[in-house]
């Protein structure tokens, strides 16, 4: 299995899939590439998985018939692994992740645009995007920025350990694994507060209780960074204000604690070059009343007016790509022209 992963890394691919009865493949962006000309039979898949997992992981797989975990590949890479049942046998999908925590500027953010946001030391920052759009990398980069600048105690909650933070001269970054080190319920609030945490990267918001945890902790003075799957900023606002169970609670909590929503994506031109793009909504005092009333139309009008340098939509991001001659105007999706 590690040989297949090594081939994928050499091809600069970010995913590996091994399914019984098929040839192992990797994915590079949207492109599928075969990395072996031999079909894998069920016994071979079991053998590959057996050689990749430790004893604790094997026991969890036997108990649950499915496993999400992280696997140490080499000095530079982790793999986020999903082992699952497929037609009465096992299959595995791996996402290859660089261990290094990038800076925000290395990812592709303009630091001048983020300057006002990064001066805040409490509240909620939501990082949104489609699956595999780099949300967790951006959350890690935000934590890295803060702990590099001042003395903070930061905590990352996650299903798998995917990033290795360096030793900071005056800050500490700790990581806890869900269902091993903690349960994502009300008890985690007291645990975090008793640990004197300043910054929390709580991973992905999947349901209302996750969002409530983010709101509760940001209301208690923590800087909370969280990711959410959404198609754009408007979709983030709709999910947050209309789909989280107790609308009155969440609208009040969001209007009081939300600092910003960053939605990010990777756009690929006809030559398959990938460009990082993002849109951003910074919560200004004049917008808080619209959040409280769940008036998404008014919020989007505020964004589209272009009056604030740190409130921008994808249309502006594509204009900059065209201006920098990175893409041709006809490559811009019609939605953003």
Average pLDDT of 167-186? Answer: 79
Domain that holds residue 306: 104-336
Do 79 and 140 belong together in one domain? no
Same structural domain, 233 and 169: yes
Give the position of tokens 């046998």. Answer: 89
Output the pLDDT for position 241: 93
Rounded CA-CA distance 69/92 in Å is 11
Tracing tokens 């993002």 back to the chain, one arrives at: 278
Q: Which tokens is 292 given?
A: 């409280």
One domain, residues 21 and 127: no
10 and 134 fall within a common domain: no
Q: If you average pLDDT over each of 48-62, 180-194, 253-267, which comes out highest?
A: 253-267
Measure the CA–CA gap between 35 and 38, rounded to whole angstroms. Answer: 9
Residue of 150 and 28 predicted with greater confidence: 150
Give the whole-angstrom CA distance, residue 175 versus residue 183: 14
Dihedral of CA atoms 196, 202, 206, 210 in degrees, nearest 10, equals 10
Q: Are residues 230 and 327 in the same domain?
A: yes
- Same domain flag for 211 and 156: yes
Do 214 and 231 share a structural domain?
Answer: yes
CB contact at 8 A, 224 and 263? no
Last residue of a domain, one of 57, 74, 98: 98
Mean pLDDT of the chain: 89
Give the residue from 23, 18, 25 showing the smallest Cα distance to 51. Answer: 18
Mean pLDDT, range 25-45, rounded to an integer: 88
Looking at the predicted structure, is the pLDDT value of residue 182 above 80?
A: no
CATH number at residue 292: 3.40.50.300
Chain length of the chain: 337
Q: How far apart are CA 14 and CA 8, in angstroms?
A: 7
**How do residues 192-201 score in pLDDT, each as one tens digit?**
888 899 999 9
pLDDT at 292 (0 to 100): 95
Instruction: Decide: pTM greater than 0.85.
Output: yes
Please give the pLDDT value at position 179.
64
Answer whether residue 161 shows pLDDT above 80. no
Q: Total structural domains in the chain?
A: 2
Domain termination residue (choose one: 65, 98, 131): 98
Q: Which residues contact 204 (CB under 8 A, 6 or more apart)?
A: 135, 136, 210, 226, 227, 228, 229
Where is average pLDDT lowest: 34-38, 174-178, 301-305?
174-178
Same domain, 91 and 230: no
pLDDT of residue 160 exceeding 80: no
Report the CATH number that the domain containing residue 35 is assigned in CATH.
3.30.450.90
Pick the last residue of a domain from 78, 98, 118. 98
Q: Are residues 310 and 324 in the same domain?
A: yes
Q: State whether 204 and 94 are in the same domain.
A: no
- In this structure, the answer to whether residues 153 and 256 fall within a common structural domain is yes
Q: What confidence tier does 100 reach under pLDDT thresholds 50, 70, 90?
A: confident
- 89-115 as b/e: b if 16+ CB within 10 A: ebbbbbbbbebbbbebeeeebeeebbe
Give the pLDDT confidence score for residue 186 in this predicted structure: 64
- Orientation of helix 208-219 relative to helix 247-257, angle to 10°: 40
* Whole-number Å distance between alpha carbons of 232 and 263: 6
Are 88 and 134 members of one domain? no
What does the H/E/C string look like for the chain?
CHHHHHHHHHCCCCEEEEECCCCCEEEECCEEEECCCCCCCHHHHHHHHHHHCCHHHHHHHHHHCEEEEEEECCCCEEEEEEEEEECCEEEEEEEEEECCCCCHHHHCCCHHHHCCHHHCCCEEEEEEECCCCCHHHHHHHHHHHHHHHCCCEEEEEECCCCCCCCCCCCCEEEEEEECCCECCCCHHHHHHHHCCCCEEEEEECCCHHHHHHHHHHHHCCCEEEEEEECCCHHHHHHHHHHCCCCHHHHHHHHHHHEEEEEEEEEEECCCCCEEEEEEEEECCHHHHHHHHCCCHHHHHHHHHCCCCCCCECHHHHHHHHHHCCCCCHHHCCHHHC
């Amino acid at each position: 299995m590690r040989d297949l992963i090594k081939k994928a890394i050499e091809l600069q691919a970010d995913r590996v899939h091994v399914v019984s009865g098929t040839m192992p493949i990797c994915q590079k962006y949207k492109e599928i590439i075969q990395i072996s000309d031999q079909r894998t039979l069920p016994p071979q898949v079991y053998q590959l998985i057996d050689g990749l997992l430790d004893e604790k992981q094997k026991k969890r797989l036997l108990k649950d018939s499915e496993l999400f975990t992280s696997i140490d590949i080499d000095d530079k890479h982790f793999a986020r692994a999903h082992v699952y049942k497929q037609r009465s046998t096992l299959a595995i999908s791996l996402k290859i992740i660089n261990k290094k925590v990038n800076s925000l500027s290395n990812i592709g953010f303009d630091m001048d645009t983020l300057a006002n946001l990064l001066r805040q030391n409490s509240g909620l920052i939501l990082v949104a995007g489609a699956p595999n759009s780099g949300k967790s990398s951006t959350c890690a980069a935000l934590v890295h920025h803060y702990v590099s600048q001042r003395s903070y105690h930061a905590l990352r909650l996650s299903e798998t350990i995917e990033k290795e933070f360096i030793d900071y001269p005056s800050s500490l970054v700790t990581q806890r694994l869900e269902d091993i080190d903690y349960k994502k319920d009300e008890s985690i609030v007291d645990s975090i507060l008793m640990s004197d945490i300043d910054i929390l990267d709580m991973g992905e918001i999947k349901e209302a209780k996750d969002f409530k945890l983010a709101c509760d902790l940001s209301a208690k003075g923590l800087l909370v960074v969280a990711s959410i799957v959404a198609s754009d900023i408007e979709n983030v606002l709709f999910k947050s204000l209309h789909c989280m169970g107790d609308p009155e609670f969440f609208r009040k909590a969001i209007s009081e604690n939300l600092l910003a929503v960053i939605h990010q994506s990777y756009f690929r031109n006809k030559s398959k070059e990938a460009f990082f793009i993002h849109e951003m909504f910074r919560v200004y005092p004049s917008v808080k009343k619209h959040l409280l009333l769940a008036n998404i139309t008014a919020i989007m009008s505020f964004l589209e007016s272009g009056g604030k340098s740190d409130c921008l939509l994808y249309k502006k991001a594509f204009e900059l790509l065209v201006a920098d001659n990175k893409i041709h105007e006809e490559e811009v999706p019609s939605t953003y022209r």
